[in-house]
Chains A and B, each alone.
Chain A
Amino acid sequence: MSNYYPVLVLIGLLISVISAYRKAPFYNYIGIQITIYGLLKSAALIMPPLPAQVIVMYVAMSLFAFLIYFSIREETFRAFLEPMRSVLADRDKKLQRVVLVFIAIPLFAGYITYAKVRPSYKPPVTGRIVHPEPPQEIDFRGKTISILGLENPLRKETDRLKDHLEAGKKIYYQNCFFCHGDDLDGRGLFEQAFNPPPLPFRGTDTIAQLPESFVFWRIAKGWKALPPGSHPWDSAMPSFEDFLTEDQIWQVILFIYEATGNKPRTWE
């Protein structure tokens, strides 16, 4: 683990305590601000890291809160501003003034500006719907198949299930495993070549979430039937109605569920 921000929290606290003791509200504030920043960053130890924007928001909020706090009473506010005034004005602070006010801060401001205006080129990125809404019915080589409420007809043939599974396995390893993987984990030989990458069938978030009818539609129609939101132009999923019969598609569906230990979602 490389989250060292708790150390920053300690440093901030130390600065804050020492400066409170020495009655230096400006440095006290700096210490508290460091502590807050360190805490926000340390949160990543126990939860997903906070987005940079959220951190900026919290830091800005605490800045305003402390400004109000320190400016309520005239003399605290003066004490708070004292270090800044002294660097800007005092004769004996000339070195600090030159280094900080006349060199470091202008350079930093220049750098921030550069970072803002420098052109950065990012290719367009757009979200893609992985499991789009299937149509009510499809045309399978001239035959109309209703997708809604459709179930795998081969599951009823309990005495031939074993043969169907073996047939499905053969189809899988002659058509699908190049992309979807020997282990059905989406890590086939061509995994890297295509974008979007092939879907894994293992795990609980792909075919385990889908009814078999959906899977039938995806296999039968492939890239061609994807709606624009699912970027058909990028998909390397063939339309398997060109290569397989209806029964063969059901056989391979039986196999991919069986081999991954997943159960299809059913029509309640």
Chain B
Amino acid sequence: MWSAIVLILVLTLVPAKGFAQNEKGERIYKQWCGQCHGYEGDGEGYTKRYTFPTPRDFTMGVYKFRTTPTGEPPTDQDIIRSIRKGNPGTTMPPWKRFSDDEVKALTEYIKEFAPDVFEFEPEVIKITPPPFSEELIKEGREIFKKAKCVECHGLEGRGDGKKGWEENFKDDWGERIYPRNYTYPWDMRNGATVEDIFRTITTGLNGTPMTSYQDSLTDKQRWALAYFIKSLQLERHLGISLILKRVEKAPETPDDPLWDTLEYLDLPMGGQVIFEPRDFTPVITNVRVRGVYTEESVVIMLEWVDKKPDRGEEGNPPDAIRIQFPEKIPGGVEKPYFFLGDERHPVNVWWWKADGTVAEYSAKGYRNLQMQDRQNIKAEAEYSYGLYRVVFKRSLATDDENDMVFETGRFIPFSVAASDGREDEDDVRCAVSAWYYMMLEPSTPVKVYVMPPVVAFLVFGLGLVLHKRLSKS
């Protein structure tokens, strides 16, 4: 009799589990996921040609971000983590609006695109970080070289390794893929904490050239590596203005040690999406700006990561960067258009290209660029392990009436545009920044040194007089 009951139970439960309509999951998927991942889960959504990296194809059941050994499918928690936290630097945002139940249902729905893959729950790796120590970082640095991480990720971890540029460096779908640049934590798809990094090293990223190091390195070695990689991350200084200090002698080259002592401003870059050809997939996500000035000239250094230098020799445009200023420092709020100015408000454009060209343009809109008759800028560039540094120099005032005059104490608008030749980026299709300000710091007024002691002395005197008077009476 017992067996009959069990049989009935099994018969009623199995179909219920297998064929239950996951309406909640389906509704959310179709409304909020299908446009990118495809209504059939095949990654063939509306955004396929408009995003980099392209949205995941769920039908293969191959997932990059997991806590499971290499080759294994992710756990539910892994999928939930990707949904909840998103993948930084991609168009996959953190979905916080949905309830836990909804995300659970969505996860079940996504798994149904590759049901065979999810038949068994795989084991999960342990993630318990040892306490941080400088020793670990040191050890990690050694492992980084020995474990051949540099082959793809480059000696300084900027994702500029040689292997990344080989013909067959592709993912399982045949799409181009780039090794991660560790110095930009805001671009780390799988998260930027030391636990996230450890997880990636341990499990590898299925379907990509990033293999698992679970067997080839011990737990401790992988933690050391994770702490080392974490230590390479830059700290972004965001803001709206940069103060340029006055120095006696201007640094002439990008490797001048003075640069590393200066305050900097990081500009988050976006795609130029306003004019054709538009750029939806810019790869330059940050430009760091520093500057100083002397009695005669202003010197500005722009710094950004480009994983492979292109001098324009392979048929694509050369890498380039440009900084623009209004032709005249605006008196009020009104400025030229932030991308290459406009008809009524021309901008000065200082343009450096990796083929060696340095030129000064006047722009009145994106289709109206004119090289200036008088060229007054100089530029020095350096490319080192994935990092471009370009130093522009110009005198504060020039003999060209179309050049902006750098006045101290004024907030001078500037914006930056950068292009990566390998991505066929050029003068219009490029990464752009908003308007920011730089100010040449004026020398401190004398009253700052004089007035406080004078006031302190007067107050002291007053106390003395009161004391004398009152003690007499």
Binding site for B on A (CB under 8 A): 85, 88-91, 97, 101-102, 105-107, 109-114, 117-119, 121, 123-124, 126, 169-170, 173-174, 177-179, 181-183, 187-190, 192-195, 222-223, 228, 231-234, 236-239, 242-243, 259
Q: Which of A117, A170, A187, A231 contacts B46 (CB 8 A)?
A: A170
Give the CA-CA distance A229 to B456 in the complex, in Å. 46
User: Which residues of chain A are near B434, meaning CB under 8 Å?
Assistant: 193-195, 234, 236
Contact yes or no, B471 A118, CB < 8 A: no
Which B-chain residue is minimally distant from A87 (CB atoms)?
A: B467
Contact yes or no, A228 B334, CB < 8 A: yes
User: Which residues of chain B are near A105, meaning CB under 8 Å?
Assistant: 459, 463
Q: Which of B50, B274, B442, B463 contacts A236 (CB 8 A)?
A: B274
Is the C-beta of B269 less than 8 angstroms from some C-beta in chain A?
yes
Q: Kindly provide the distance from the CB of B201 to the nearest chain A CB, expressed in whole angstroms.
A: 26
- Known contacts A106-B457, A174-B47, A193-B433; decide if A183 and B32 are in contact (CB<8 Å): yes
- From 289 to 343 in chain B, residues with beta carbon under 8 angstroms from any chain A beta carbon are 333-339, 342
Which B-chain residue is minimally distant from A239 (CB atoms)?
A: B274
User: Which residues of chain A are near B31, meaning CB under 8 Å?
Assistant: 259
Q: Which of B89, B278, B445, B459 contacts A119 (CB 8 A)?
A: B445
Q: Kindly provide the distance from the CB of A203 to the nearest chain B CB, expressed in whole angstroms.
A: 12
User: Which residues of chain B are near A234, meaning CB under 8 Å?
Assistant: 335, 338, 434-435
Q: Can you identify 27 A-B contacts, CB atoms within 8 angstroms? A: A91-B471, A102-B460, A102-B464, A106-B456, A106-B457, A109-B456, A110-B455, A113-B454, A114-B448, A114-B451, A117-B448, A117-B452, A123-B439, A173-B46, A178-B271, A189-B91, A190-B271, A192-B238, A192-B268, A192-B270, A193-B270, A193-B432, A223-B337, A233-B334, A233-B336, A233-B435, A259-B31
Contact yes or no, A106 B273, CB < 8 A: no
Give the CA-CA distance A91 to B456 in the complex, in Å. 24
Contact yes or no, A89 B467, CB < 8 A: yes
- Known contacts A89-B470, A182-B93, A193-B432; decide if A113 and B46 are in contact (CB<8 Å): no
Which A-chain residue is minimally distant from B464 (CB atoms)?
A: A102
Contact yes or no, A223 B274, CB < 8 A: yes
The number of A-B residue pairs with CB atoms under 8 Å apart is 164
- From 422 to 473 in chain B, residues with beta carbon under 8 angstroms from any chain A beta carbon are 432-435, 437, 439, 441-442, 444-445, 447-448, 451-460, 463-464, 466-467, 470-471, 473
Interface centre among B89, B276, B463 (most CB of A within 10 A): B463
Interface size bucket, B side?
Answer: 35 or more
Give the CA-CA distance A89 to B467 in the complex, in Å. 5
Q: Which of B47, B342, B455 contacts A173 (CB 8 A)?
A: B47
User: Which residues of chain B are near A97, meaning CB under 8 Å?
Assistant: 467
User: Which residues of chain A are near B470, meaning CB under 8 Å?
Assistant: 85, 88-89
User: Which residues of chain A are near B452, meaning CB under 8 Å?
Assistant: 110-111, 113-114, 117
Contact yes or no, A123 B241, CB < 8 A: yes
Q: Which of A85, A118, A182, A222 contacts B91 (CB 8 A)?
A: A182
Is the C-beta of B164 less than 8 angstroms from some C-beta in chain A?
no
User: Which residues of chain A are near B437, meaning CB under 8 Å?
Assistant: 123-124
Q: Kindly provide the distance from the CB of A201 to the nearest chain B CB, expressed in whole angstroms.
A: 13
A sample of 13 more A-B contacts (CB under 8 A), given A89-B467, A182-B36, is: A89-B473, A90-B471, A109-B456, A119-B442, A119-B444, A170-B35, A177-B91, A182-B93, A193-B433, A194-B270, A228-B334, A233-B342, A259-B31
Which A-chain residue is minimally distant from B33 (CB atoms)?
A: A182
- Known contacts A89-B470, A234-B335, A238-B274; decide if A189 and B90 are in contact (CB<8 Å): yes
Contact yes or no, A106 B459, CB < 8 A: yes
Q: Kindly provide the distance from the CB of A92 to the nearest chain B CB, expressed in whole angstroms.
A: 12
- Known contacts A173-B46, A174-B50; decide if A119 and B448 are in contact (CB<8 Å): yes
Give the CA-CA distance A109 to B335 in the complex, in Å. 42
Q: Which of B90, B97, B439, B471 contacts A89 (CB 8 A)?
A: B471
Q: Kindly provide the distance from the CB of A161 to the nearest chain B CB, expressed in whole angstroms.
A: 16
- Known contacts A106-B460, A119-B444; decide if A174 and B46 are in contact (CB<8 Å): yes
User: Which residues of chain A are near B435, meaning CB under 8 Å?
Assistant: 195, 233-234
Which A-chain residue is minimally distant from B274 (CB atoms)?
A: A238
Contact yes or no, A188 B463, CB < 8 A: no
Q: Considering the complex of A and B, which 8 residue pairs feature the smallest CB-CB distances, nearest first?
A: A193-B270, A110-B456, A190-B270, A89-B470, A192-B268, A195-B434, A101-B463, A106-B460
Is the C-beta of B45 less than 8 angstroms from some C-beta in chain A?
yes
Q: Kindly provide the distance from the CB of B72 to the nearest chain A CB, expressed in whole angstroms.
A: 28
Q: Kindly provide the distance from the CB of B242 to the nearest chain A CB, expressed in whole angstroms.
A: 10
Give the CA-CA distance A259 to B337 in the complex, in Å. 32
Contact yes or no, A178 B35, CB < 8 A: no
Q: Kindly provide the distance from the CB of A175 to the nearest chain B CB, expressed in whole angstroms.
A: 8
Give the CA-CA distance A209 to B335 in the complex, in Å. 29
Contact yes or no, A121 B270, CB < 8 A: no
Give the CA-CA distance A195 to B409 in the complex, in Å. 23
Is the C-beta of B81 less than 8 angstroms from some C-beta in chain A?
no
Give the CA-CA distance A97 to B466 in the complex, in Å. 11
Which A-chain residue is minimally distant from B88 (CB atoms)?
A: A189
Contact yes or no, B276 A178, CB < 8 A: no
Is the C-beta of B240 less than 8 angstroms from some C-beta in chain A?
yes
Q: Kindly provide the distance from the CB of B97 to the nearest chain A CB, expressed in whole angstroms.
A: 6
Is the C-beta of B228 less than 8 angstroms from some C-beta in chain A?
no
